[in-house]
Amino acid sequence: MSEKILSRNFGVKDSHTLKVYRETGGYTALAQALGREPAAILDEVKKSNLRGLGGAGFPTGMKWSFIPKNHSGPVYLVINADEGEPGTFKDRYLLERDPHALIEGMIIAARAIKSALGFVYIRGEYVEPWRRFTAAVREAYDAGYLGQGFDIVVHRGAGAYICGEETGLISSLEGKKGWPKVKPPFPAIKGAFGQPTIVNNVETICCVPHIINRGAAWFAGLGSKTQGGTRMYSVSGRVTTPGVYEESCAITLRELIERAGGVSGSGRLKAVVPGGSSAPILAAHEIDVVMDVDGLRNAGTMAGSAGVIVFDDTVSIPEALMVVARFYAHESCGQCTPCRESTGWIYKMCHRIVEGKGRKDDLDTILDVAKRGAGTTICAFYDGAVGPYISYIEKFRGEFEALCQR
């Protein structure tokens, strides 16, 4: 069992308050960071092997370093607290139970990138996390942590999954339709309001105070060779004890399922989604895989947002794909033709198959449409949808064919 870093205060009474956060060592990292040059903070985060914990897994320090050195205007820090990926529910725990960790991490990150203003974009449905975090921001202002060179604006989203994509989020933040933008330019060059912007998710920034307090070498040593630290895995589905588990990035998927009490239902594992609904599925024989970014990528799937969904052998894979396909058809922003049209077509075909009215040719059509559309759209939404379309059918084709009439 890994040392608890991010979730260390989750069982502490009133852990969301400034008083308790200070009593448990809060804001001591900020005091250290204020005595360091921005370049030194950036270097420490680079050496820690901290990678983005919201989906893409990009090295955090490297992302920060993309801010143009000669830029003389504003630089913005944007926190993605949208957490719309099905199967993922760890950022809400941080916002509800340790909101000052995010605030402290933001102030330190802002010093590293020379930002005077940060935005926190919170998913609209997260009412209690929004209340808790907003109250913590007020406490931080009253205590003088904010308003002394760095300010935070809290912005509530309106429930659009596409606003979890960084450029879609920025568009929404600017008051526009939440449509992703073509990259390049990347947000670090031209982001919010046309200015250089760093977008990180909640969990990523909550790691920063611990890196400053205890050092990059310590943090890097908690994880795997290519990804430092622990991370919070949202484990749901057919497990005995669903919940959020903080473990080393070097844990295997098999070990993580055992930490959650093992497979429930029939007790016989069928498949696992390892990184939120857009991650390609893994069959039962594929779970001896390290749960870091590179380990899962090498296994043909992705770490994503670490939303682990467990299926026992009573789960219908065609029905599961139909549910996922319905979600992507509903949440496509409609900007790109391959995504707008294909997600709807594929959902209709999946629905037809589940009703017993499908044809075996439908499976080849789904695979063909999915593979043709990958990499042709403005953002990664459709690429994410393609992961389950292809992997569910290719790994469990027999189940789909058994439902088809001809």
3-state secondary structure of 164: helix
Measured in degrees and rounded to the nearest 5, phi and psi for residue 304 equal: 50, -130
For residue 324, the model assigns a pLDDT of 97
Residues 69 and 89: their CA atoms lie apart, in Å, by 36
Give first-to-last CA distance, the chain, whole Å: 50
Please give the structure tokens belonging to residue 170: 């920025």
User: What are 46-103's pLDDT values in tens digits?
Assistant: 999 999 999 889 999 999 999 999 899 999 999 999 999 999 999 999 999 999 999 9
Residues 6+ apart with CB under 8 A from 174: 192, 193
d(CA 300, CA 279): 9
31 C-beta neighbours (distance < 10 Å), count: 10
Q: Which residues in the chain show pLDDT less than 50?
A: none
What's the confidence (pLDDT) of residue 1?
A: 64
Tokens 């060059």 -> residue: 189
Specify whether the CB–CB gap between 53 and 79 falls below 8 A: no
Cis peptide before 388 (omega within 30 of 0): no
SS3 at position 60: helix
Q: Is 103 left (phi over 0), alpha (psi -120 to 50) or beta?
A: alpha
Q: How far apart are CA 303 and CA 124, in angstroms?
A: 25
Q: What's the pLDDT at 55?
A: 85
What is the length of the chain? 406
Kind and range of the H or E run holding 101: helix 99-113
Asked if residue 245 lies in contact with residue 273, where contact means CB atoms within 8 angstroms, the answer is no
Give the distance, in angstroms, between the CA of residue 169 and the centroid of all CA atoms in the same chain: 14
Give the chain's radius of gyration (CA, Å).
21
Name the pTM for this structure.
0.96
Residue 113: the pLDDT is: 97
282-283/269-273 β-pairing: antiparallel
Return the CATH number of the domain spanning residue range 317-403.
Answer: 1.20.1440.230
- The structural domains of the chain, with segments of one domain joined by +, span 18-222, 230-312, 317-403
| Angle, in degrees to the nearest 10, between helices 317-331 and 381-395 | 170
User: Mean of the per-residue pLDDT values for the chain?
Assistant: 96
Closest residue by Cα to residue 315 from 354, 367, 285: 354
| Residue type, position 108, single letter | I
CATH domain 230-312 topology = Ubiquitin-like (UB roll) (3.10.20)
Phi/psi of residue 291, nearest 5 degrees: -90, 30
pLDDT digits (tens, 9 = 90+) for 106-146: 999 999 999 999 999 999 999 999 999 999 999 999 999 99
Residue 7 identity (one-letter amino acid): S
Q: d(Cα 132, Cα 69) in Å, to the nearest integer?
A: 36
Contact at 8 Å (CB) between 201 and 52? yes
Predicted local distance difference test score (pLDDT) of residue 296: 97
Q: Could you check whether the bond before residue 338 is cis, i.e. omega within 30 degrees of 0?
A: no
Q: Which CATH number applies to 18-222: 3.10.105.10, 3.40.309.10, 3.40.50.11540, 1.10.287.3510?
A: 3.40.50.11540
For the sheet with 269-273, list strands across it.
Answer: 243-248, 230-237, 307-312, 269-273, 282-283
